[in-house]
């Protein structure tokens, strides 16, 4: 069971690193991302936070997978 969990943790990390950063440019170009003064709207802020959380989870998954491999 442990090898399966290690593979799943690495797959999760790869998915988050490949998919989420590519999503940001589309969000940033969206007309809802900035108001008339050019300031970020909650739309941009929330999506940026979601992307950051996904990348932190990817890092945590890699660390957990490496720990499982070593331990």
Q: What is the pLDDT along the chain (71 residues), one digit of tens a residue?
A: 799 999 999 999 999 999 999 999 999 999 999 999 999 999 999 999 999 999 999 999 999 999 999 98
Residue 56 pLDDT: 98
Q: Which residues pair with 34 in a beta bridge?
A: 40
User: In the block, which residue shows the tokens 């991302």?
Assistant: 33
0.75 exceeded by the pTM? yes
Q: How many residues does the chain have?
A: 71
Output the 3-class SS for 11-62.
HHHHHHHHHHHHHHHHHHHCHHHECCCCCECHHHHHHHHHHHHHHHHHHHHH
Q: Other CB atoms closer than 10 Å to residue 12's CB: what's the count?
A: 18
């Amino acid at each position: 069971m442990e090898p399966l969990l290690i593979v799943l943790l690495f797959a999760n990390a790869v998915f988050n690193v490949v998919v989420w950063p590519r999503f940001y440019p589309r969000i940033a170009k969206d007309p809802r991302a900035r108001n008339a003064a050019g300031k970020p709207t909650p739309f941009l802020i929330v999506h940026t936070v979601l992307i950051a959380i996904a990348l932190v989870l990817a890092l945590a998954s890699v660390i957990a997978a490496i720990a499982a491999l070593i331990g």
